[in-house]
Amino acid sequence: MMNGTSNWQVVLTEFCTLGESPVWDDRLQRILWVDIIEGHVHEWYTAARRHVMTHFPVKIGAIALIDDGAVIAASDEGFVFLDLRNRGVKRITDPESRLADNRFNDGKCDAVGRFWAGTMDEVTGKKGAGSLYSLDKDGRATRRVNNVTCSNGLAWSLDHQTLFYIDTGTHQVQAFDFELETGRIANPRAVIDIPESEGWPDGMTIDAAGMLWIAFWGGWKVARWNPYTGEKLSEIKLPVAQITSCTFGGKNLKDLYITSANIGLTDAERSAQRLAGSLFVVDNLDVGGIGPSRYVQRESPSDFATHTIHGH
């Protein structure tokens, strides 16, 4: 496996303020990702080499695919449906509507189609201000973890019995016993302790061998870790500091797509990191990934005219 290599490519010249939430769509052979601050959803169709960007009047922390082709998102307006073709937004529920400084951040679907996403205080970064939620198919949000500072990476073990989770400020990966049928979690414990010298652990994905790939904000890299031993196995160096997330894609799920950000950089840092905010890809890794699960909802989100959000 790679260690310290620079075998990366830029997918396209499109710089995100805060790129996040890369999602591979195996049906349409496209990679999707978001720019949280700008409210953009990007789509890159790999065969046609075609880029589509859609703007929405919300800050979009994370997205996931839906079986009928729509997209679900976790945003500063709570959980919403997004219509990428007509630019519609339909509200589902906002469990933190009374917390004006909070917004949703990273999110992902489990194997039965629940959408998991967590929050953070984006104004002051107040410690413990956020929570982790799951959204069931009936549109009901359940709080699963509280006292979260910056909710980030999510992944499930290959047997779906363990949830791995990152609250960035802890410099740890936590594991929970996970009950797939109900979504219940229990027995939280730290399985990876990450030295501060690595950077801040951000987004995360799991590979076909059950190892975790973690993006490091301020770390200039993604790194592969063993959640059963806590050992760092390898890393891929990148030309920018603020690496936010990663996911596997491509026809064989062996291409690693990596998002980044340029928010908060000084002029000197921007000059030194001219690719900051890019989407990167590392092709044809030795190990592949797991295809993303889709959100399964009870009713179709096709009626975007109802409860449509027009602005912040």
Per-residue confidence (pLDDT) for residue 307, from 0 to 100: 42
CB 203 within 8 A of CB 152: yes
**According to the annotation, is 77 in a ligand binding site?**
no
**According to the annotation, is 193 in a ligand binding site?**
no
Per-residue confidence (pLDDT) for residue 13, from 0 to 100: 83
Query: What stretches of the chain show up as alpha helix (H) in DSSP?
Result: 267-272
Where do the structural domains in the chain lie, given as residue ranges? 3-282
Please report where in the chains the tokens 């949000």 appear, as a residue: 141
**According to the annotation, is 138 in a ligand binding site?**
no
Q: Left (φ > 0), alpha (ψ -120 to 50) or beta: where does 199 sit?
A: left
**According to the annotation, is 105 in a ligand binding site?**
yes
Which of these is catalytic: 110, 202, 207, 255? 202
**According to the annotation, is 284 in a ligand binding site?**
no
Backbone Cα Rg of the chain? 18
pLDDT along the chain (312 residues), means of 10: 66 94 96 97 96 96 87 97 92 95 96 97 94 96 97 98 97 98 98 98 98 98 98 97 98 96 96 97 96 82 45 42
Question: In the CATH scheme, what architecture does the domain 3-282 have?
Answer: 6 Propeller (2.120)
268-279 burial, b for 16+ CB within 10 Å, e for fewer? eeeeebebbbbb
Per-residue confidence (pLDDT) for residue 68, from 0 to 100: 66
Contacts of 193 (CB under 8 A, 6+ apart): 171, 172, 230
Residue 111 structure tokens:
């194997």
CB 92 within 8 A of CB 81: yes
* Residue 76 among the catalytic residues: no
Q: Distances in Å between the alpha carbon of 30 and those of 25, 35, 48, 261, 312? A: 5, 17, 10, 21, 29
